[in-house]
Amino acid sequence: MKKAKSLLLALHVFVGIGALAGGLAAITNPDNPMGVTVDALENSPFSNFLIPGIILFAIIGVGNIVSAITLGLNHKLKGYVSSIFSWGLVIWIVVQCIMLNDIVALHIIFFTIGLVQAAISAIILFKHRQFPANLVLDFLGK
């Protein structure tokens, strides 16, 4: 379990730092962050990357850093916090693929990272018999 928790912490730090950097780039240069033109947003409700950048920075970036901190401090809510922001990453990637009308290698990589984070978070919830794992285990008679 220690290795899984260490992997989860590393993934949260990796995603968090990347999302903070990407979000900040989109906030400071919403018309052309990191070389991506607003043409990519033609199928989305956004005219530039400002709002997506704020969401990326605040929810995916800060959220994953908070998840890493709760894991590092072994906080009793670590499984919940990690699960919330893991699924947030998965949803972010799905919505991004729909809005950009495209799937690239980075989408697949970060979608997979989000699923791995969610799986390890679920393991933590089951290990500590926290909701909803406690209901499942009680139902199974374990």
Model confidence at 139, pLDDT cuts 50, 70, 90, reads confident
pTM: 0.88
For the chain, how many structural domains are there in total?
1
Q: 2-28 vs 78-100: helix axis angle to the nearest 10?
A: 40
User: Could you list the residue range(s) of the whole structural domain that residue 117 is in?
Assistant: 2-140
Each residue of 99-131: pLDDT tens digit?
A: 888 999 999 999 999 999 999 999 998 887 777
CA neighbours within 13 Å on the CB side: how many for 110?
26
Q: How confident is the model at residue 43 (pLDDT cuts 50, 70, 90)?
A: confident
| Number of other residues whose CB lies within 10 A of the CB of residue 52 | 22
